[in-house]
Amino acid sequence: MTAYRPRRSVLYMPGANERALEKAKTLDADALILDLEDSVSPDAKADGRARVCAAAASGEYGRREVTIRVNGLDTEWHADDIRAAAEAGPDAIVVPKVNSAAEVHEIEKSLEAAGAPDRTAIWAMVETPIAMLRAHDIAAASDRLTVLVMGTNDLAKELQAEHVPGRAPLLGGLSLALLAARATSKVILDGVYNDVKDLEGFAAECTQGRQFGFDGKTLIHPGQLETCNRVFAPSEEEVARSEKIIEAFEAATAEGRGVVTVDGRMIENLHVDQARRVLSVAAAIRDRG
Q: Binding partner of residue 214 among ligand LIB3CWND, Mg ion, none, CB under 5 to 8 Å per kind?
A: none
Residue 165: Cβ within 10 Å count: 10
Cβ burial, residue 42 (10 Å; 0-12/13-18/19+)? exposed
Q: Counting Cβ atoms within 10 Å, is residue 15 exposed (0-12), middle (13-18) or buried (19+)? A: buried
* CB-CB contact of 182 with 136 (8 Å): no
Is residue 28 annotated as involved in ligand binding? no
Whole-number Å distance between alpha carbons of 218 and 192: 5
* Stretch of residues binding ligand LIB3CWND (CB under 6 A), selected from 109-117, 146-154, 255-263, 280-288: 146-154
Q: Which of 51, 222, 227, 267 binds ligand LIB3CWND (CB under 6 A)?
A: 222
Helix (H) or strand (E) holding 162, with range, is none
Residue type, 214: F
Segment interacting with ligand LIB3CWND, rule: CB under 6 A, options 7-15, 169-177, 204-212, 246-254:
7-15
Q: Hey, what amino acid is at 156?
A: A
191 binds ligand LIB3CWND per the rule CB under 6 A: yes
d(CA 234, CA 62): 24
**How many positions of this chain bind ligand LIB3CWND (CB under 6 A)?**
23
Please, which of residues 95-134 interact with ligand LIB3CWND by CB under 6 A?
96, 127
196 counts as binding ligand LIB3CWND under rule CB under 6 A: yes
Is 198 among the annotated ligand-binding positions? Answer: no
Name residues contacting ligand LIB3CWND, limited to 18-47 (CB under 6 A).
Answer: 19-20, 23-24, 35, 38-39
CB of 265 to ligand LIB3CWND, least distance (A): 38
The C-alpha atoms of residue 66 and residue 161 are separated, in whole angstroms, by: 32
> Which alpha helices (DSSP H) does the chain contain, by range?
18-23, 45-57, 78-88, 101-113, 129-133, 135-140, 152-159, 171-183, 199-212, 225-231, 236-254, 269-287
User: Residue from 9, 71, 128, 152 that binds ligand LIB3CWND (CB under 6 A)?
Assistant: 152
Amino acid at 276: R
Q: What whole-number distance in Å separates Cα of residue 52 and Cα of residue 191?
A: 22
Q: Do the annotations mark residue 247 as ligand-binding?
A: no
For residues 147-206, which are near Mg ion according to CB under 5 A? 151, 154
Compute the least distance from the CB of residue 140 to ligand LIB3CWND, in Å: 22
Binding site: which residues? 69, 127, 154
Binding site for Mg(2+): which residues? 127, 154
Which residues of this chain interact with ligand LIB3CWND, rule CB under 6 A? 11-14, 19-20, 23-24, 35, 38-39, 96, 127, 151-154, 191-192, 196, 220-222
Binding site for substrate: which residues? 69, 127
Which residues of this chain interact with Mg ion, rule CB under 5 A? 127, 151, 154
